[in-house]
Structure 1
Amino acid sequence: MGDAQAEKKKKPGWRTVLRSLRNRKSGFMALFGFAQGLPPALFLGTLYAWLSEAEVDLETMGVFSLVGLAYAFQFLWSPLLDKVDIPGLSKLGKRKQWIAPMQLIVGIALLVMSFLDPKNALGWFSLLAAVGAFASATQDIAINAWRIDVADEEATLDILSTITQMGFRLAALVGGAFGLIIAERIGWPQTYLIMGAIMLGIGIASLFAPDATVSDDTAATAAANADEVAELYNAGEVTEKVRTRALIAVGVLWGWAIITVVVFMVRSMTATPDTRPDVTLFTTTYGPLIVLATVVLPAFIAAWVARQKREGRNVIHAAPGVGAGHTVKFTDHLYRALVLPLVEFVGRLGWSLVLILAIVLTYRICDSIWGVFAYPFYLGELGYTGDEVAFASKFFGVFAIIFGLALGGWIITVFGRMFTLTLGAALAAATNLLYADLAVGGPAMQAASDAIGFSALIGWMAPFGGEGLPRLTFTIFWENLAIGIAGAAYIAWLSSIVAKKYAAVQYALLASLTLLVGTLGRGALGEMIEVKGYHYVFIFTALIGIVAVVLCVLEWIRETRAGAKSGVVQPDPQIAAE
């Protein structure tokens, strides 16, 4: 009887979720998720409304889209966050030393922008937006690593990942729709003043967040870092010659990528409207090359190093240690920061990394590509008004995503991460068929909405809407619910496959791939819409979604087999890598 009651208590469900939510780490995770979502909304979305009101020309507005590159290419400086301490701030914690200062910088940037006239001080305005976006992207790297570091049996990685997304979506609503509403009443400077104060408040609160275990003694921390470097000289590790070759190759590739992005940004910020390079053209042309240089080719180099080590070729056989003839070099630290995370990733996952990258490239491709064409579809193709679209997507849709995230977190707790990941992929693919119906008039959506009383509810909530608003809202509701479930599972899965020791670099690489693939596919999808129409495109994206479902099933099988071999039902690779 006692065993049965104990088993009942252990059974996952809403009690498990609620217990996790009461954890102090979950509260800070919600705060951090909000801090991740607010700056992009203010620097990449709402800001354009302010610039339009200030009568800034469209060509000049194009400069501000450059700040989005900070989010797309954030992995380029992610190695710094794993291995570099900020002087005087390292005692805050491994991650907090980056999180809190970056949040304060974002807050200060927003505050200063609130005192400027964008038309008369455009140079300062663009500089502050760029600095704020860079600080925002940097805090994202640190927060993603923090989530992986602090997860435990109560505040699980799955729950923390769900909370992250909920905070992010809520911030997008506050910085987007609510920001527009506030600005309409009190003005843009006052709105950005409020948003800056919020970020400053979060930055101060972050100082009290828990962090990964960090020594309070700076000397002890330095000694620990030296010990990690010394491990490179242990028996069985590759020789210094192999490390040097790998470092030079990866360093040249990453160096080219960083220089390319920096040169483009400098040229764009200093050019006239007539000579300014095209951001979209740069992303579609150089984006794949940068991914090739920073991810694909370094992965092959890391595989070569891992193979040398596994086969015992070019490895150290006798290990006298650093103190017996070896001196810690700058290149040793650079190798640990840049190459070792890739070697660990490839060495641990092997050919399974190909499957993982395939999921990363396909799982969120439908909604990441589709986002740009949503408004042209709603406003141009279907003829809805701005108020109707704002109600359906910005208000009803955002709350549908938050509900989906909560539901996804519960499903993960009860049925597991891989079940939810696969379910999310299937639902995301299916919702494209709902849009395909909407593209031909939405007869099925209207009938379903009428049948369950949804149309009557929307008629009461939005009396300003036309007869087609219920079917639009109904479609967006189900799509956003699916996005919420899929988002909760995807972030949890992505967090689970990286090693804690190299979380910043490995997660940033995977997350950036997810972001870049959507950007690179938009040109082709736009052309397809022009030629084939929206109905055809939604059928096509549904088929892409089926590919993601198949890949998720294969990954589920792989993880199950890996768990069976190790005697664990569902192993967490990040723990296995410790």
Structure 2
Amino acid sequence: MNKLLDTYLDKRMLFIFLNGMASGFPWVIIGSAMTLWLQDAGLTRTAIGFFGSVFAVYSVNWLWAPLLDRVKIPFLTERFGQRRSWLLLLQSLLFLLIVAISFTNPANNLVWVSLLAIGVAVVSSTQDIVIDAYRIDVLDIEEKNKLPATAAMATSGWWVGYGFLGAIALYLSDFGQDWSSVYLIISVFALGFILNTLWLDEPESQREVVQGKAQKRYEDLLGGRNLFEKLKPVTLVDRIVAIQIVAWQKTSAWFLSTMVEPLKDFFVRFGKTAIVILLFIMLFKVGEAFLGRMSLVFYKEIGFTTSEIATYSKLVGSTLTVIFSIIASMITVHYGLVRGLMISGVAMASTNLIFSYLAFVGPDTTVFAIAILLDNFTAAFSTVAFVAFISHLTNRAYTATQYALMASVGNFGRTLFAGGSGWMVDSLEAQKWVASFGGEWTVFFAITALMVIPSLIMLVWISKRFKEIFI
């Protein structure tokens, strides 16, 4: 118990928690608050569902993640370090984008709202790369047993940023503020995250040494060192050509060591199993994504008020997630990553059936509270185990790239499939047979409960191949 307390009282855990808040907050901007704003603006459920496709950006952020491991920002990097300099830049851009959204209206300027939402998604997904890399880098290699604790703090922070700050946005709307004013008011939270970044300690890393060695290896493959002397230029034209060749060699070596080496390292370490790991990551939380994408629309349609949604879904749900995340980290440490994922996956799917029952009985606050209670426990449990699992797979020299690759694959699965969640509900509504089972929402949530099965089968296979690593 004392060891557990020492882990959570480490000041690094506080900063990981606050970074988690910074990571969750943008999902209010282009997620929950935007969903309700779009609904108030008169958009259809199908349109709202497809608007959520802006989250597809989170699925491809691994493409530029290597740059965050390598590229230095003039003035900022020298003063604040690699991780903090990028956070300061990105959080400043996020603040400006939120303010810009506050001066729009989706009822009249849907294109501009969409473009700004994409901008928020790009900045936010890039910020996530840095925050995830910081969370892993801040621990020493021998502290890997603390990964579930860092995952718990990051998860708790994310839900506070998404839930508590999201609840504030919903309350402001319900108390008479128009959505433009709400966005302008909550933009101040982005300034708070900038202040937090200024207080962070930049983690120590051997990243530059490893990257430098990789670059030299690629230079050797592309002609070797001292290439200029080897070319033996005589005339001025020869010297110009030789300079261009050397420049090409060094640029190519930098590109390969920055963009290719991190991905090569991942697939070399795990071989063919890497494909199965990525498929598992893609599919594990798809059912949860379907539920999450349509949950606010569902709550409103069956008769809950915005204040009730804010209280139960945001405040109560987020408070429980903070507590449950810490409990989940303890369970994950005790049972191991794979068994923790297996248990949480089954529980997560089973909880979706509670929402089917809620759809059947209508706006019963008791059932609503129970659904939120169970959903937040299983969501916290699955997320903590999932984040710790992914963190465990990264190479410290390429933290940002490899974690972003795996997280992007997970986001891709959730975004690709869940983007059609509204279409699924509308399609089910058009089917006469669903009335026999309680209506379209009842059937919809039952279907989401089955979506975890393929990933659990893959998890069993992965655990047999790498049992000594994950258990």
Report the equivalent of 1:80. Answer: 67
Contact 1:429 1:543 in 2 (8 A): yes
Report the equivalent of 1:196. Answer: 187
Corresponding residue SS for 1:213: coil
Corresponding residue SS for 1:156: helix
Determine whether 1:174 maps to 2:164: yes
| In 1, Cα distance between equivalents of 2:53 and 2:465 | 40
- The Cα of 1:472 is off from its aligned counterpart by 2.7
Contact 2:55 2:121 in 1 (8 A): yes
Distance 1:60 1:481, change over 3 A: closer
- The Cα of 1:337 is off from its aligned counterpart by 2.3
Determine whether 1:363 maps to 2:259: no
Report the equivalent of 2:130. Answer: 142
Determine whether 1:339 maps to 2:260: yes
Deviations 1:142-189 (A, max 9, x none): 111111211232892221111111111111123322112134356656
Using the aligned pairs only, state the percent identity.
26
| In 2, Cα distance between equivalents of 1:546 and 1:69 | 23
| In 1, Cα distance between equivalents of 2:210 and 2:70 | 12
Query: 1:334 is matched by which residue type in structure 2?
Result: F
Aligned length: 438
Corresponding residue SS for 2:202: coil
Query: 1:165 is matched by which residue type in structure 2?
Result: T
Query: 1:37 is matched by which residue type in structure 2?
Result: G
- The Cα of 1:397 is off from its aligned counterpart by 2.7
| In 2, Cα distance between equivalents of 1:372 and 1:475 | 16
Deviations 1:264-287 (A, max 9, x none): xxxxxxxxxxxxxxxxxxxxxxxx
Distance 1:202 1:436, change over 3 A: closer
- The Cα of 1:62 is off from its aligned counterpart by 10
- The Cα of 1:491 is off from its aligned counterpart by 1.0
| Long gaps (5+) in structure 1 | 1-13, 242-318, 443-465, 564-569, 572-578
Report the equivalent of 2:234. Answer: none
Distance 1:472 1:52, change over 3 A: closer
Distance 1:62 1:556, change over 3 A: closer
Query: 1:207 is matched by which residue type in structure 2?
Result: L
Deviates more, 1:528-537 or 1:333-342: 528-537
Query: 1:232 is matched by which residue type in structure 2?
Result: Y
Report the equivalent of 1:409. Answer: 329
Corresponding residue SS for 1:339: helix
| In 2, Cα distance between equivalents of 1:487 and 1:417 | 11
| In 1, Cα distance between equivalents of 2:115 and 2:446 | 42
- The Cα of 1:344 is off from its aligned counterpart by 0.9
- The Cα of 1:439 is off from its aligned counterpart by 5.0
Contact 1:368 1:515 in 2 (8 A): no
Matches within 5 A, 1:531-542: 531=431, 533-542=440-449
Deviations 1:202-258 (A, max 9, x none): 21331331223269xxxx96x885443113356xxxx549xxxxxxxxxxxxxxxxx
Report the equivalent of 2:342. Answer: 422
Distance 1:56 1:545, change over 3 A: closer
Determine whether 1:492 maps to 2:388: yes
Contact 1:72 1:516 in 2 (8 A): yes
Determine whether 1:511 maps to 2:407: yes
| In 1, Cα distance between equivalents of 2:449 and 2:35 | 32
Corresponding residue SS for 1:37: helix
Report the equivalent of 1:548. Answer: 455
How big is the alpha-carbon RMSD for the aligned residues of Structure 1 and Structure 2?
3.7
Report the equivalent of 2:8. Answer: 21
| In 2, Cα distance between equivalents of 1:140 and 1:407 | 24
| In 1, Cα distance between equivalents of 2:447 and 2:117 | 37
Distance 1:399 1:42, change over 3 A: same
- The Cα of 1:320 is off from its aligned counterpart by 6.8
Determine whether 1:230 maps to 2:151: no
Query: 1:489 is matched by which residue type in structure 2?
Result: A
Determine whether 1:482 maps to 2:470: no
Deviations 1:328-373 (A, max 9, x none): 4211111122222221111100122133123212210110122233
- The Cα of 1:547 is off from its aligned counterpart by 3.5
- The Cα of 1:194 is off from its aligned counterpart by 4.0
Contact 1:44 1:67 in 2 (8 A): no
The alignment's TM-score, normalised by the length of structure 2, stands at 0.79
Contact 1:230 1:321 in 2 (8 A): no
Contact 1:230 1:322 in 2 (8 A): no
Contact 2:262 2:402 in 1 (8 A): yes
The alignment's TM-score, normalised by the length of structure 1, stands at 0.66
| In 2, Cα distance between equivalents of 1:426 and 1:172 | 25
Distance 1:162 1:212, change over 3 A: same
Task: Pick one of 20, 29, 38 that aligns with 1:42.
Answer: 29
Query: 1:80 is matched by which residue type in structure 2?
Result: L
Greater per-residue helix proportion: 2
- The Cα of 1:196 is off from its aligned counterpart by 2.6
| Long gaps (5+) in structure 2 | 232-245, 435-439
- The Cα of 1:140 is off from its aligned counterpart by 0.9
Report the equivalent of 1:107. Answer: 95
Deviations 1:502-547 (A, max 9, x none): 2222222222221222233243854774445555554444343243
Deviates more, 1:512-521 or 1:550-559: 550-559
Query: 2:94 is matched by which residue type in structure 1?
Result: V
Matches within 5 A, 1:23-422: 23-47=10-34, 49=36, 67-91=54-78, 92-111=80-99, 114=102, 116=103, 118=105, 129-152=117-140, 153=143, 156-183=146-173, 184=175, 191-213=182-204, 226-232=212-218, 239-240=221-222, 325=230, 327=246, 328-375=249-296, 377-380=298-301, 387-422=307-342
- The Cα of 1:82 is off from its aligned counterpart by 2.1
Distance 1:496 1:186, change over 3 A: same
Report the equivalent of 1:249. Answer: none
Distance 1:331 1:370, change over 3 A: same
Contact 2:60 2:408 in 1 (8 A): yes
Contact 1:111 1:197 in 2 (8 A): no
| In 2, Cα distance between equivalents of 1:361 and 1:425 | 13
Query: 1:209 is matched by which residue type in structure 2?
Result: L
| In 2, Cα distance between equivalents of 1:512 and 1:97 | 22
